[in-house]
Amino acid sequence: MIKLSPSILSANLSNLGKDIKDLEKFGADMVHIDVMDGRFVPNISFGMPIIKAVRGISNLIFDVHLMIEEPSKYIDEFAKSGADIITIHYESDIHIDRTIKYIKSLGKKAGIAINPATPVSVLECIIQELDMVLIMSVNPGFGGQSFIDYTLNKIKEIKLLSEKCNPSLMIEVDGGINKDNIKSIVKAGANVIVAGSSVFKNEEIEKNISILKEGI
């Protein structure tokens, strides 16, 4: 089953609670929450207080993507705030094995994200420990970017590794996904789709989710 995880980075932040309720109402499977610190990526976004504030209004899986330096310092707080999946960047943590094991010890699902130019090979030793791999198909930090075509090959590589070492792995793709390319992304092996602008465009959430699901 292909799951849709809309990124609230593109939501109407003045009405965030309603937008999250609408995601659940109109068939989203998860809520993708991009946490940015202005250091690892050139932008600042949500933190623990926002996650905690909206946790009580939704039964959707909270898919928390930490685009921050030294994420290991903050795992406890994100877990307490209501994250169900915590994904950290390979590029931001020098003790990635230890951090992944710690996330799982808290009863949370653990994922690793890799930037567009980071090779899939860096995950070969740890992929069997993961619940999710997140392939960035844009350079992280801002919504509304165009899909980087060469990341399709990375999705295929992760799919092959998954079949060999971790068949239950969630393969998530984030960046530039829309009705025109979603089918090729799923065909390459993705089973969790992050979409921001294409879900919240013109605040027509129901229509936009329906269009994306038709592409799947």
* Mean pLDDT of the 78-100 span: 98
Give the Cα separation of 208 and 195 in Å (integer).
10
Q: Which residue, 205, 146, 164, 212, is CA-closest to 18? A: 205
> Residue 178: pLDDT band by 50, 70, 90 thresholds?
very high
Does the annotation list 196 as a binding residue? yes
Q: State yes or no: pLDDT of 80 exceeds 90.
A: yes
Q: State yes or no: pLDDT of 141 exceeds 90.
A: no
Q: What would the pLDDT profile of 143-163 be if each residue is shown by its tens digit?
A: 778 999 999 999 999 999 999
CATH architecture of 3-215: Alpha-Beta Barrel (3.20)
Cβ contact 29:61 at 8 Å: yes
Give the Cα separation of 110 and 63 in Å (integer).
10
* Mean pLDDT of the 165-190 span: 97
Give the Cα separation of 199 and 24 in Å (integer).
13
> Residue 215: pLDDT band by 50, 70, 90 thresholds?
confident
* Mean pLDDT of the 188-198 span: 97
> Residue 39: pLDDT band by 50, 70, 90 thresholds?
very high
Amino acid type, 21: K
Q: What six digits make up the tokens of 150?
A: 């060469």
Does the annotation list 174 as a binding residue? yes
> Residue 106: pLDDT band by 50, 70, 90 thresholds?
very high
* Residue-level pLDDT at 46: 87
Does the annotation list 189 as a binding residue? no
* 34 carries an active-site annotation: yes
Give the Cα separation of 138 and 178 in Å (integer).
13
Does the annotation list 7 as a binding residue? yes
Q: Which residue among 19, 22, 37, 174 is the active-site one?
A: 174
Sketch the domain layout of the chain as residue ranges. Answer: 3-215
Q: Which residue among 19, 34, 37, 93 is the active-site one?
A: 34
Q: State yes or no: pLDDT of 142 exceeds 90.
A: no
